[in-house]
Amino acid sequence: MNKKTKFTLVVFICFVGLSIFFYKSKENPRVYLNNRVNLAYINESIDTDNFNEVIQLMEKSDIPVDGKIKKILKHLKGLYIISDSNFVSRKKNPVGILNFGYLYPIFSFEITKYFDKREEFYELKKEYSDKYLKGTSLFLREERGNFLIARRIKDIEEILRNEKYISLDFIKILNRDSKNNLGIVVVNLGKNPLGGFNELVLTGDVEKKDIIFKSIIGGENDIIKSFNKITDDGLSGERTLKRNRLYLRTSRENELRSFFFFLNYFFRNSMLDDIFSKVYINSSKNLIGHVGKDFEKTTIKDNQFLYGDIDVKISKIDSVAKLKLVGIANENKLTIKGTTNKSVVIKMLKEIK
């Protein structure tokens, strides 16, 4: 065996040894999603080609994405932003967890390009803080193959003191929605059920032409139950739809009318009040205007409780989002899906900017 072959073999053995050591010690970042977390944003689709649609949407909306940020996003396997504070408390800031997967060692070596060492933590260099965060401090800590970032050191320390395990509630949500390129916002109502609600999830996808938003509301709640197990009400089959109306099917019409009366009072003189005034409950198709053949093929499934095609005015902005809405009731969960054209959202983002 010549010297060159020996050297190559030694380098290979060292590389394999370091790889085994690293990947045995690396933690799955999902272990931070325990039952102490009250609020989380999770995106495990950032490194996929599908996420390019999100970047293109931002750039077409005149929201530039820096080249360095693009590089990070391209190799990022997962982004988690979590908070274990009370929903009404501002004493804690959220903590971000960055997962680079197999490329973690490479990014670990590059930390000092952007951060200054502060004992067990790193602090973002002033030039980058001024450029990206308007001078706000940002701290980072390497922990078992992941990067934890926050505006304050003590917030990272408190997250690290929490017990590490993956909540089964979070696993169910991730298995269902983790492929959506807009990520998932989860309010952990399972920890402290509020009014019988135990699940609140917001998610969505940017596609070639459309943007799809989806919310999932779950729990043993009278409002949710009013949409479950909808009986045959003579409204199934071909539908006639009139723009700017929402149609609801429910097995508890009186309770729902009382609920909407309360909402109209609570949200009076607001954009939401205008929407609630357009809600029709168990309406006969003879009361509806023209045929809406482009909406869900106008076929209403037995468990479909919501359908409509409406214009939503954005407060203080002279812009209108045209939404197609569908709601499905299933197993004590309400799934509400809204679809709007990408060009409308681009216009809205430009005006907001």
* The token pair that represents 295 in the structure block: 């909406």
Helix (H) or strand (E) holding 5: helix 3-25
Mean pLDDT, rounded, for 88-105: 80
Helix (H) or strand (E) holding 41: strand 39-43
Angle at 341 between CA 212 and CA 173, to 5 degrees: 5
Residue 295 has pLDDT above 50, yes or no: no
Helix (H) or strand (E) holding 336: strand 333-341
Q: What is the DSSP letter of 350?
A: H
What's the one-letter identity of residue 325? Answer: L
Give the model's pLDDT for residue 232: 58
Give the model's pLDDT for residue 8: 62
Q: How confident is the model at residue 342 (pLDDT cuts 50, 70, 90)?
A: confident
Mean pLDDT, rounded, for 278-291: 56
Question: Residue 43 burial (CB < 10 Å; 0-12/13-18/19+)?
Answer: buried
Tell me the CB-side half-sphere exposure of residue 9, using CA atoms within 13 A.
6
SS3 187: strand
Q: What would the pLDDT profile of 8-55 be if each residue is shown by its tens digit?
A: 665 556 555 555 555 556 889 999 998 888 889 999 988 777 788 888
Give the model's pLDDT for residue 117: 92
Helix residue ranges per DSSP H, 100-213: 104-109, 111-114, 126-133, 153-161, 168-177
Delimit the domains of the chain by residue range. 23-173, 208-352
User: β-strands 246-248, 279-281: how paired?
Assistant: parallel
Percent of the chain scoring above 90 in pLDDT = 17
Asked which of 4-13, 56-65, 116-125 is least confident by mean pLDDT, the reply is 4-13
Residue 97 has pLDDT above 90, yes or no: yes
Q: What would the pLDDT profile of 126-166 be if each residue is shown by its tens digit?
A: 998 998 888 899 999 999 889 999 999 999 999 999 888 88
Mean pLDDT, rounded, for 104-125: 89
Residue 297 has pLDDT above 50, yes or no: no
Sequence-distant (≥ 6) Cβ neighbours of residue 203 within 8 angstroms:
177, 180, 182, 183, 184, 185, 213, 214, 215, 216
User: Which residue do the tokens 């723009």 mark?
Assistant: 243
Q: How confident is the model at residue 282 (pLDDT cuts 50, 70, 90)?
A: confident
Q: Are the C-beta atoms of 309 and 241 separated by less than 8 Å?
A: yes
Residue 105 has pLDDT above 50, yes or no: yes
Compute φ and ψ for 145, nearest 5 degrees: 85, 10
Rounded CA separation 149/151 (Å): 7
Q: How many residues does the chain have?
A: 353
Residue 63 has pLDDT above 60, yes or no: yes
Compute φ and ψ for 281, nearest 5 degrees: -105, 125
Question: Residue 249 burial (CB < 10 Å; 0-12/13-18/19+)?
Answer: buried
Q: What would the pLDDT profile of 45-62 be if each residue is shown by its tens digit?
A: 887 777 888 888 888 888
Nearest to 146 by CA among 156, 138, 161: 156
Residue 70 has pLDDT above 50, yes or no: yes
Q: What is the mean pLDDT of the chain?
A: 78
Rounded CA separation 315/190 (Å): 33
Give the model's pLDDT for residue 104: 84
Question: Positive or negative, the Cα torsion across 213, 216, 222, 227?
Answer: positive
Rounded CA separation 148/121 (Å): 10
Q: What would the pLDDT profile of 199-254 be if each residue is shown by its tens digit?
A: 889 999 888 888 889 999 888 888 888 887 666 555 554 555 567 778 888 877 88
More reliable by pLDDT, 127 or 84: 127
Q: What would the pLDDT profile of 166-179 be if each residue is shown by its tens digit?
A: 888 888 889 988 88
More reliable by pLDDT, 258 or 191: 258
Helix residue ranges per DSSP H, 115-200: 126-133, 153-161, 168-177
More reliable by pLDDT, 305 or 150: 150
Rounded CA separation 62/152 (Å): 31
* The token pair that represents 165 in the structure block: 């395990």
Nearest to 32 by CA among 153, 188, 175, 216: 188
Q: List own/partner pairs for 128-131 with CB under 8 A and 24 or more apart.
A: none
Give the model's pLDDT for residue 16: 58
Q: How far is CA 324 from CA 70, 248, 311, 315, 340, in A?
A: 32, 14, 9, 19, 7
